[in-house]
Structure formats: structure tokens, C-alpha cells
Amino acid sequence: MTDTAATDAVLADWRAKAQQFEMRVARAVIGQSRVIRLVTIAIFARGHVLLEGDVGVGKTTLLRAVARALGGAYSRIEGTVDLMPSDLIYHTYLADDGRPRVEPGPVLRQAENLSIFFFNEINRARPQVHSLLLRLMAERSVSAFNREYSFPALQVFADRNLVEREETFELPAAARDRFLMEISMKTPSDESVRRALIFDPRYHDVDRLLDDIGEPAFDYRSLASVAELIQNRVAASETLEAYVTKLWEALLDPYAAGVTLPDVEMRGLVRGGASPRGLAFLVRAARVRAWLEGRDALTPEDIREIFLETMAHRIFVDPIYAMRGDDIVRDLCRAAFATVPAP
Amino acid sequence: MRARFLALSFLFAFVAAPAAAEVKSVRLYAERGFGFFVGDLVNARLEIVADSASRLQSASLPRPGALDYRLDLRDIRVREEPVGDGLTRWNIDLVYQIFYVALDVRDLQIPPFALRFLHEGETETVRAPAWAIGVSPLREVLPQRRDDPTDYMRPDRGVAPSDAATPAIRAGAFVALALGALALVAHDRGWPPFHRRRARVFAAAARRIAILTKRGDEAARRAAMLALHRAIDDAAGRRIFAEDIDAFVAGHAEFAVAKERLIRFFASSRALFFGVADAGADLPLGEILSLARSLAAQERSAR
């Protein structure tokens, strides 16, 4: 009993720190409270994040702000067509004495302190680079210089813009599945926020904006243990387990579950995705959300709040609907929520 | 076809001497050469056999229309058919109409016309033969004297009795079809009489919960909560969770009076189904029933 009480005290303390973290990020990134909340959930669920959105909505600013508020070493790389996996690991150059040198690249340079690896415009990199990321993301380790490097605190943040199609490479399904969330970032809809973004010079200089964030709210090295504490502490009732299972069934076979979408043939719509790993990620993120809301038990709201972001990018539908983009998957998720009752 | 035409026809053939080697023969066939009256149609066929390499210039064909005051060309059709030996036959069917009111039996000249054929860059002219038909008067020049001038006229043809039943049946069928289509549209759009009254979901839930209240055990309380959850979902048209109460009440103003009790109900449901600790959230069956009844009353008065 005292054990539980002690755990609860630790978690309450961390909840205050998490709120502090959100507040600091919100100083630099305004009008994106939901996106910040989702990123916070991803950090405490120890998941990797893929950001997508229009050019200039502030994806990079958000990630830099998060890196600043989180602390720890931070490394970034820009995705380009000619980027090769070895460019991430090794830095090769000709030294002053004219001899070639090989030194640790962006991933290895910070060694084990690397807390955020920020991959800008990931869809400009080739599939070879994506496959290197698979291991980095799943096992938080790489092999280089004949030994293993491990990054216990590593989180990968990547962003992709969906405006251009030339010289871009679609992320393979396996790489997408390893991201905890794909967060879509939109232009803020609130008018006062829009005005501030346009006219307030504070938001025009990103470096000065990031200085306002101040010192990290907590030690990033403790995150792994706190994340484990959260996962162990937040309980899921039998009803909730049944609910999530039914949602999963509705996604695997929407036709059998009675989920319908206008103008879509539901039989054989879902071709893949919705993996057990995806569902595990879903529950992981939902537990963090419940904890942030001050609860020690999961509710359907927790699932719903993070569902689109954790599930939509894993689900692959019949290629006949490829031209309709991601909307159809989002509609499918919404329809599943409208169909499956809870409790 | 040609054989029948020939069999019927009074061979009224003129064989014109071929003008050049390419055009082998020109023949004219007509039904008969006499016994025509004013208004009659005269059918004739001109057959020209020539080298297959020749081309008939269609611009040289006579145009349908008045040829002179007494004769019209009504129709002209050209058909080509190969006849072997590198020869082709052009069948030109001509239909004339006579407008000549003859006072005695006499011959009417059908004017000749020229056709041009193109053969290896050379133009060759073929003349259709001139011919004549015998036309006759319809009646005597001086009819018998009548007292009433209208007697000179023949009586009008009687009016044929028309069929009134078929259009009426058709009109009836189309009216029935239109009404049927209207009924389908009305059913699709939910127009009266197909507009169904929205089911009173809370009334049904209250009835069910009342039955469960008599059982009174924990399973009944669980079932009663589920029943009320489904009724709220149905009323909102989506799944309503505890965090959606504000949105639900905003969309259904009639239930605003029960908002506090709805919040308590959802808190109790969370405690029961999801194990969210919340002291004092244990809603007894009686209160669930009274909440359902008050929601049912609001639902009734809102319409």
C-alpha cells in the first residue's frame, strides 16, 4: 500500500514536471496545444514521432523547442536524395595534412547522451537510410567502428512535408510502423494566434524564441524509468480491454464489424497495418494520456484522443483508394469509433 | 431486286451508243410508257455500266426539284455494284412527279441530262436518253351541267374514327409510373407519409431500466447503465464518453437541466466499468431509473 502511495507521489511529481514541459514548449509554439500534448505523450511513452504538415507551419520550430525543453544531446540531419546510411554514422573528410579521416557522424558524435535525433524531411532520404533508421528506432542501437553503440535515451523525431512529390521516397511500411505517432500539424485556426504569428516579431526569430524556453524541466535520463512506472501503474479494466479488442477487430475487418463508409466497398478494404505492435503502442500512449489527466485507469477517451495519431499511419487500404490519400483511413477510424460501443 | 424490277417493267430501254471505251452501256428502264395522270409518280432507273476505275461525279447528278412547270424530280438515288470483268454498274433510281393537267392524251417529254465520269484524269460525259410518257386527262373537258356548283366537286373524304382508348390507357400508365417514382423519392427523402417519428430512445431505456430495477442486483445495475449509455449514444448519433457531456448538452439543449446528474452518471459508469477511482460515484439503480425517466420526459417535451 505504501509502495503504491510512493509511486503515486512520484507520478504526481512527474505530472507537474510534464505540465511544466508543455508550458515551456508552448512559449515558443503557440496555438498548437494539441500537438504539444501529443508530443508530450510520445516522450513519456518513449515513442518516436513523425510530424507531417504544410511547409512553414512550425514543424522544425516545434521539434527544436521540444529538444531544448527536454535537454540532453541533440543531433539533426537533413534528408536529401544523395544521403547514404553511412553519412549518418560516419563523418569522412580530408584533414589538414591531406590524409583521409573517418570520425563519428551525427548519430554517434554525442554517443550515449543522444536524447533527440531529429531527421528533417525524412521522405527526401532514400530507402537505405530508412532501413538504418529501423534498427536505430527499434533497438536504439547501431553497429559502427566494429562495436555496438547504444542510445538508451534516444527518441527519433522526423518530419516530412507532403507538398512535393519529386525526388521523395515514401516511407516503407516497416519504418512507419515503428513510429509511435504520426502527428499532423496544421496552421492555427485561432485568429489572435494567427495575427501574433504574422505581426509579432518575437515569432520571427526562432533562435531567440528558443532562448525563452529556459532550462530543461527534468532530467531526460530518468524518462525511461518514469515511462515504465506509468505503464505499470495505469490499469486497464476488463471492459476497456474488450473495447480495444473490438476496435481492433473493426479495423481488421470493417465489413464484418458493420463499419460503413459512404462510397467505399468495405469488404477487403484494409490490406494491412493495424499490427499487434501498433495496438501495443496505442495502449502505451493511452496510458500516458490517462496519467497526464490525473487518472490511474484507462478510459475510452484516452484511446480516442490518441487513436488517429497512433493508428492511422499504420493502416494500409486497398490501392484502389490510394488517390484519396490518408483521409479514408481517418474516416475508417472515426467510423470504427462510431460503431463500437463503450462501455 | 433488279430481276423483279425488270420483270415488272415495261422494257423501255434505250441503248445509247457508248461515248467512249470506258462507258460500256447506258440503259433506261421504266415501269410503263403511258397511262399517267396529273400527280402520278413516275419511277425510272438508269443503268450505266463502265470501267471500275471510273468515278461518277456526284455534282453532275440532277438535283431534286422542279424541272419545268409540269414536271418535278422528286428523288434520285445512286447505288454502285460491281458486275465482274473489271466493270461497275451505277443504278440511278429516279422518281418524277407529273403536274401537267392534260386535256387530251398526249406525250410528255422527260428531259435528258448529262452525267460526268472521271477516268484517269479524263472527264467523260454520258448523256441519259430523252424519253416520253403518255399522259391522259382525268375527266372530260366539258362536264355535264349541274345546278349546284358544289356538285362539280367530289365530296370530302369522311373523317376516320380515331382511337381514344389507347392514349387514355397510356396516360393512366404514365400517371401511375410518376406516382410510383414520387413515392420512391418521398421514401428516400423521408417526406410524409414516410417520415418516421424519431424513436423515443430514453422512453424505451426507462422502461427497460424499470424492469431491471425490480431485479435489483449488481448485474441489473450494470445492464441498466449499459441501457442508458446506448440511449445517450442513440440520442447523440455518436458514442458519448464522459468527456463529451458538454458537447452533448450543447447539441441537445433539452437535456441541459439534467447535466449535473449526467456527470454523476458518467463518473459512476467510469468507476464501474473502467475502475477509475471516484469516491461517492456509486449511483444506485433507483437514481439511474429516475435519470432515465427525467431524460425521457425532456425528450417528449422537446418535440
B219 close contact with A: CB closer than 8 A? no
C-beta of residue A29 within 8 angstroms of C-beta of residue A58? yes
In a domain, B36, yes or no: yes
Cα distances from B10 to residues A177, B13, B14, B108, in angstroms, run 94, 9, 12, 17
Domain count of the fold of chain B: 2
Note the pLDDT of residue B99: 93
| % pLDDT > 90, chain B | 30
Report H helices in chain A.
2-28, 33-44, 59-70, 85-89, 106-109, 127-139, 173-178, 191-199, 206-211, 223-233, 238-252, 254-257, 276-292, 300-311, 327-339
Give me the sign of the Cα torsion angle A266, A271, A272, A273: negative
Residue range A146-165, pLDDT digits in tens? 888 888 888 888 888 777 77
B232 and B120 part of one domain:
no
A contact residues 197-236, partner B, Cβ 8 Å cutoff? 235
Domain boundary among B120, B138, B156: B138
- Boundary-marking domain end, from B138, B157, B187: B138
Partner residue opposite A338 with nearest CB, options B226, B239, B242: B239
Between CA B243 and CA B245 the distance in angstroms is 6
Task: Give the residue from B137, B136, B134 showing the smallest Cα distance to B32.
Answer: B134
Longest dimension (CA), chain A: 72
- Mapped onto helix, strand or coil, the DSSP state of residue A210 is helix
Tell me the domain boundaries of chain A: 30-82+111-218, 234-339
| Contact criterion met (CB < 8 Å) for A297 and B269 | no
Q: In this complex, which of A235, A337, A340 lies closest to B275 when CB atoms are compared?
A: A235
B117, B124 Cβ separation under 8 angstroms:
yes
Q: Where are the beta strands (DSSP E) in B52-130?
A: 55-56, 65-68, 71-84, 87-98, 106-110, 114-119, 122-127
Q: Does the CB of B89 have a partner CB in chain A at under 8 Å?
A: no
Q: Is B157 helix (H, G, I), strand (E, B) or coil?
A: coil
Whether residue B122 is contained in a domain is answered as: yes
Residue of A nearest to B238 (CA): A338
Tens of pLDDT, residues B6-38: 434 444 444 444 445 578 888 999 988 889 999
A338 touches chain B (CB under 8 A): yes
DSSP assignments along B112-123, one per residue: P-EEEEEETTEE
Average pLDDT, chain A: 83
Alpha helix (H) residue ranges in B216-273: 218-236, 245-251, 259-269
Q: Does domain A30-82+111-218 have CATH number 3.30.465.10?
A: no
User: What are A238-274's pLDDT values in tens digits?
Assistant: 888 888 898 888 888 888 877 877 777 777 777 776 7
> Is the omega angle on the peptide bond into residue A343 within 30 degrees of 0, that is, cis?
yes
Q: Do A239 and B273 touch (CB under 8 A)?
A: yes
Q: Is residue B119 part of a domain?
A: yes
Note the pLDDT of residue B196. 65
HSE of B74 in the Cβ direction (CA atoms, 13 Å)? Answer: 12
In a domain, B164, yes or no: no
Regarding whether B130 and B8 lie in a shared domain, the answer is yes
Give the pLDDT score at B61.
Answer: 92
Per-residue pLDDT band for B228 (boundaries 50, 70, 90) equals confident
Report the relative pairing of strands B87-98 and B41-51 from DSSP bridges.
Answer: antiparallel
Using a CB–CB cutoff of 8 Å, tell me whether A298 touches chain B: yes
Please give the average per-residue pLDDT across B107-111, as a whole number.
Answer: 91
Nearest 5°: the CA angle A58, A60, A66 is 100
Nearest CA of chain A to the CA of B270: how many Å? 7
Strand partners, A184: A52
CATH of the domain spanning A234-339: 1.10.8.80
Q: Which residues of B touch A240 (CB under 8 A)?
A: 273-274
Domain hosting B292: range is: 201-301
Q: For residue A301, what is the nearest residue in chain B, using CA coordinates?
A: B241
How far, in Å, CA of B30 to CA of B46, rounded? 9
Could you say which of B84, B113, B138 is where a domain stops? Answer: B138
Q: What ipTM is given for this predicted complex?
A: 0.78
Q: Is residue B152, in this structure, part of any structural domain at all?
A: no
Residue B4 corresponds to which cell in the numbers above?
Answer: 423483279
Residues of chain A with pLDDT under 50: 1
